[in-house]
Chains A and B, each alone.
Chain A
Amino acid sequence: MPASYIPPWEDLLRVLPEIVLTVGGTIAMVLEPLLRPEKKRRLGWLALAALLVALWATAVAHVFAGPAFRAMIIVDGFATFFRALVIVVGALAVLCSLNYLERERADSGEYYALVLFSVVGQCLMAASNELIMIFIGLEISSISTYVLAGYLRDDVRNNESAIKYFLLGSFATAFLLYGIAWIYGLTGSTDLSEIRRVLANPELAPAGALVGVSAALMFVGFAFKVSAAPFQIWTPDVYQGAPAPVTAFMSAGPKAAAFAIFLRVYMTAFEPVASRWEPVVWLSALATMLVGNFAALVQNNLKRLLAYSSIAHAGYVMVAVTAHSEIGTAAAMFYLVAYAFMNVGAFAVVTHFARERERYVNVDDLAGLAQRQPVTAALFALFLLSLIGIPLTGGFFGKFYIFKAALEANLYWLTGIGLLNSALAAYYYLRIIVVMYFHEPGEAAATLAPPAPALKVALWSSAVATLVLGVFPSLVLDFAGKSATLAR
């Protein structure tokens, strides 16, 4: 790129969401020292406003859909879909955080700035069409998230969580980078379409084993970020240790963005060699579902239980990746939306219930919640039922489409085992419902104050979204179906 390169103004519009979020985050940083402590909460509202503007900017960018910055960025339906998703997740996370930070006396601008920067990274990931951009987006998102995981500096659990996430994350990202270097060496390009062109051409294609190694190395990085087995091992510890709203954010936003790049790289660049990577992803999908569900059966800590559950759900999405078809991609997209709402909703309840220093995070603490706060309990039950996959919730259709895609790709074993897994999973979610509804109220439920207004908004919007996805799935499905055809 010559130094005199001036991008056309359409290119700038195509990264408008990233621009808006970066500006918003910077303003929050600058204002931070100027505000008195009791007014820091306003920065949260600023972040929320920035996210809403970014959502609008995403729509604007979509109007000008097309490649930008010499095809390093591409704005297509797929990018818009994931950009909107991660921005909404960011907004829900901010709503969950407002009172949490106040409660922990840690209300400060950098928290919101970090959330915004993390979302910038995720938006970039969603829209990159080039490996270096993907890597940069991933790092922007990850580094902000590492800091968020250890946000409460004097909390030992936070420190442990952050350091584990950071060290293991860097370790895994190194493999991703190595894989990128490898494929660059093999094909002479980092552009996904160009890589695809080389791999699809029998005259140019390098030796299959070498491409396989590169795909495997990149798989390590992606699998780590989506917490797929055997690279899921960090997830329970990190999710359990991080502040509850951060866990809500981590388990939905970065994971969705990581799946976005996973899908984009494997459905475009590596699509010609699908038969090579399919067995590895197949095995990983299987192991992820099994590990997540079996381990979740014996957990008593809510955050840890939901961490294992999020591993299991990553396993279901991996099934859709294994199917490597357009229907599979669309199913994965739909599932990630449904999963984001139900999971953030569940973590929002945990945030609300945990109280100061997260004292009440065990399943048994929820005893009798239904009698004390019937609405909170009912909303939590709705999220859990959706996680189980009961019809008329988003979770049901998510699973339905994924397994439909898998069956059409002739993945009979994976479909069967996956469905049995989701049957098994009902057990540990139901345990929570039983405790909430059928046990005598304990001390924790008895002393619970009603949820704060901001949290209520987060809870209700997640609940409404979960139901709407179950009753009118076509609203999202239509767009996902049309966007599943990736630029090649």
Chain B
Amino acid sequence: MVNFLDLIWLIPLFPLAGAVTMLLAGRRLDPQPPSEVALAPGVAAASGGNGHGDAHGHHPAAPGRFLISLIGPGTVLLSLLFSAGAVIQLAGLPEKVHEVVKYTWIPAFFFHPAGGGGARLAADFGFLLDPLSAVMILVVTVVGFLIHVYSIGYMGHEGGYYRFFGYMNLFVFFMLTLVLANNYLLLFVGWEGVGLSSYLLIGFYFHKKSAGDAGKKAFVVNRIGDAGFIMGMLLMLATFGTVRFVDVNAALAGREPETGFGVLSAIALLLFIGATGKSAQIPLFTWLPDAMEGPTPVSALIHAATMVTAGVYMVARSSALFALTPQTSFLVAAVGAATAILAASIALVQNDIKRVLAYSTVSQLGYMFLAAGVGAYWVAIFHLYTHAFFKALLFLGAGSVIHALGGEQDIRRMGGLKDKIPVTYRTMWIASLAIAGIPPLAGFFSKDEILWQTWSSPLGSKALWAVGVVTAFMTAFYMWRLMFLTFHGRPRLSEEASRHVHESPPVMTVPLVALAAGSVAAGWIGMPKIWTWFGEGFRLFEHWLAPVFAAATAHWHAHAEAHHDVSIEWALMILSVVIAAAGIALARHLYLVRPDAPEAIRQRAAPVYNVLYNKWYVDEIYDFLFVNGLAKGGGSLLSRFDAAVVDGGVNGTGWLTRFTSTLSVWWDTWVVDGSVRLIAFTVKMFSYPARLLQTGYLQSYALVILVGVAVALGYYLMR
């Protein structure tokens, strides 16, 4: 019998081998003139009738392509099998932890200064399999494999096919490294690596400028979070002298929770800043919706199921630390709740099918942080796990819709598709019920548990719970708005699109069905405690993760048990289901029964609508600070602002609209624009002297040096 436990280091290496093969030899396997890479899937399919036959996924079956289609998903399948074997064997171990150290990356001797007691740094290429990483590797490999299979069909008529799979495999390699690492430094390698490969994948559509920009934005915003992560790691080294998970947890054992804001809170806060970057939380969430420029399978794998959850994983991995820092934990919960409701509110009015899903992802990630913040770490991971199924399914389904319509992404120009693409419709229907939180689908169990823990945990509060419930209502509404607009009602397709609507080939629909099965059943291993008529086996998830979070929950667990009130839990559960149903009903009413109502509401509430539609203007403000150059940012702000005003004028009827739009213009001009201008002005003020000095004249350079000398000397002579 193979000992899979000692072979866990192989799990990331399979996809790496795939990536290396693909990127080195792929060009020879799949010769393609580079210029064809430019085409987006819709464009490729829509470019006249000649390409249309191929659109069913029966791309010219070159043997090289076949080999690529085999290697790409095949390596991930190998990882999946090895993961499954290792997890089964792990379940048999009494201690439920297995560590494999392949090689000492940085030996300890360098940081053995004579005086510094604990200042040693040893980091290994070491892998840790425990219940937490077991869940993660299974999610990554299962969902990853299904998405790889789907991509065979979706990317079938794309140029650069080998490169796509090469980058996808590379991503899976880094993601598996991230979740299997036994120390923060190696975790960080995976952390940066997934960012890098997602950057490559977003920019996959060469020549599409917005894709390149989006990739860059994602990367730079993430770097800001990473600065926090590194700083947290360094502070951790300075405090504990180690970055190995096991050693850090040992160093934390026996400490009491911090009452003020001490060094532990600082470490936790800095790590959390890193998490906000990777997992798209306030204030670093703006990159994720833009990242949807990449191909849809990329959005499904990276920006829904795996990479963006790395922050949640990291917080859960550091649970022993976060549990000792109630202030930071509260911040985590508050940021999570705020992100959840903010992103959900934006998703209410977006018209691009992928953008709705993108904001939905941000919002769901907010739920996970809310759970982690209130100390319910296993629930955060539980939601991560159920979310991976239904969100990956929603993205792949959206991809199937886009594929069917030849590149159309605007839900206002869809409608009535349910009979034309039945498999896509039915599977997405299941996923939408799941994310809305309707029992007995997966999303219900995890979301309900989050709300209950937020209500009942000593770290939670009723206010956070209320935010969560409102978000749940919004979630049900925007998902079913999307469903009704896309699949029901009168078809609003363009000539072009309606001509070639078709269901996707089996290689794409089979993964949809598999994920739909997961969206239905994945939650059944995490049933609420009050459903006593199901056995303990249906509460497997919590028991499985219990050893990992034992230290973290020890401080307040007893307290929580005492407050367990069965009738309240029942009431809250029923309330949350009613709320979800109400959201669906409202969406049905507005978009199916009275299709003219949304327009009326939009006009009556123009300022609110504009703010939501423009995503609270967060992008515009950040553009100035981080991403764009000053002038460019100003231009884009002004043009967007113009568009908003012009649109408002056209749509406006009656003086009320005009009045409200005047108000919103005023608000835009003086508050939004003003604050942006102020920031631009400040930065310009800062760079002006530097430019003034860089004249190119020798004399003025000498003068600068002289002034520098005078300052340095003056410093000593004056004091």
Contacts and interface: CB of A to CB of B under 8 A. Distances in A.
Asked if A and B are interacting partners, one says yes
Contacts of A279: 715
A391 interface: yes
Contacts of B2: none
A438 B206 contact: yes
A236 B694 contact: yes
Contact of B110 (A217, A297, A478): A478
B211 A209 contact: no
Interface in B687-701: 687, 690, 693-694, 696, 698, 701
B234 A437 contact: no
B188 interface: yes
A163 interface: yes
A477 B207 contact: no
Nearest to B33: A371
Interface stretch (B219-227, B591-599, B660-668): B219-227
B439 interface: no
Contact of A216 (B107, B219, B701, B712): B712
Nearest to B718: A209
B192 A390 contact: yes
Interface in A263-292: 276, 279-280, 291
B611 interface: no
Given A213-B717, A403-B231, A438-B211, A224 B690 contact: no
Contact of A231 (B121, B627, B708): B708
B196 A216 contact: no
A481 B227 CA distance: 25
A407 B702 contact: no
A424 B110 CA distance: 30
A427 to B, nearest CB: 5
Interface in A384-400: 385, 388, 390-392, 396, 399-400
A137 B211 CA distance: 52
A473 B713 CA distance: 40
A427 B701 contact: no
A355 interface: no
B212 A438 contact: yes
Contacts of B705: 168, 171-172, 220, 224, 230-231, 233
B219 A430 contact: yes
A420 B224 contact: yes
Contacts of A164: 698, 701
B698 A390 contact: no
Describe B's contact surface by its main secondary structure.
helix
A408 B203 contact: no
A481 to B, nearest CB: 4
A325 B211 CA distance: 45
B188 A391 contact: yes
Contact of A407 (B209, B216, B238, B690): B238
A168 B702 contact: yes
A230 B704 contact: yes
Given A419-B231, A430-B219, A431-B216, A217 B698 contact: no
A437 B206 contact: yes
A364 to B, nearest CB: 13
Nearest to B209: A438
A219 B712 contact: yes
Interface in A157-191: 163-164, 167-168, 171-172, 175
Given A164-B701, A426-B219, A416 B713 contact: no
A234 B701 contact: yes
Contacts of A415: 231, 234
A10 interface: no
B709 interface: yes
Contacts of A219: 712
B701 A233 contact: yes
A56 interface: no
A216 B716 contact: yes
A399 B185 CA distance: 13
B479 to A, nearest CB: 34
Nearest to A167: B698
A327 B227 contact: no
B38 to A, nearest CB: 9
Interface string A416-453: 10011011101100110010011110000000000000
A309 to B, nearest CB: 15
Contacts of A434: 203, 212, 215-216
Contacts of B196: 385, 390
A234 B704 CA distance: 10
A213 B716 contact: yes
B109 interface: yes
A171 B702 contact: yes
Nearest to B27: A374
B234 A280 contact: no
Interface in A233-251: 233-234, 236-237
Interface string A328-371: 00100000000000000000000000000000000000000001
Contact of B709 (A220, A438, A477): A220
Contacts of B717: 209, 213
B224 A423 contact: yes
A412 to B, nearest CB: 9
B698 A168 contact: yes
Interface in B168-196: 188-189, 192-193, 196
A223 B712 CA distance: 12
Contact of A391 (B189, B712, B719): B189
A371 B192 contact: no
A233 B704 contact: yes
B629 interface: yes
Contacts of A167: 698, 702
A255 to B, nearest CB: 18
Interface string A200-237: 00000000010011011101100110000011011011
B400 to A, nearest CB: 27
Nearest to A406: B234
Contacts of B110: 330, 474, 477-478, 481
B671 interface: no
A326 B113 contact: yes
Contacts of B206: 437-438
B702 A427 contact: no
A295 interface: yes
B572 interface: no
Given A171-B702, A172-B705, A474-B106, A233 B193 contact: no
B570 interface: no
A69 interface: no
Contacts of B231: 403, 407, 415-416, 419
A199 to B, nearest CB: 15
A399 B234 CA distance: 11
Closest 6 CB pairs of A and B: A212-B716, A419-B227, A230-B708, A423-B223, A216-B712, A438-B212
Interface of A: 163-164, 167-168, 171-172, 175, 209, 212-213, 215-217, 219-220, 223-224, 230-231, 233-234, 236-237, 276, 279-280, 291, 294-295, 297-298, 325-327, 330, 371, 385, 388, 390-392, 396, 399-400, 403-404, 407-408, 415-416, 419-420, 422-424, 426-427, 430-431, 434, 437-440, 471, 473-474, 477-478, 481
11 contacts: A168-B701, A223-B708, A231-B705, A391-B188, A391-B193, A392-B193, A400-B230, A415-B234, A419-B230, A424-B223, A426-B223
Given A231-B705, A385-B196, 8 more contacts: A168-B698, A400-B230, A420-B227, A423-B226, A427-B216, A434-B203, A434-B216, A478-B110
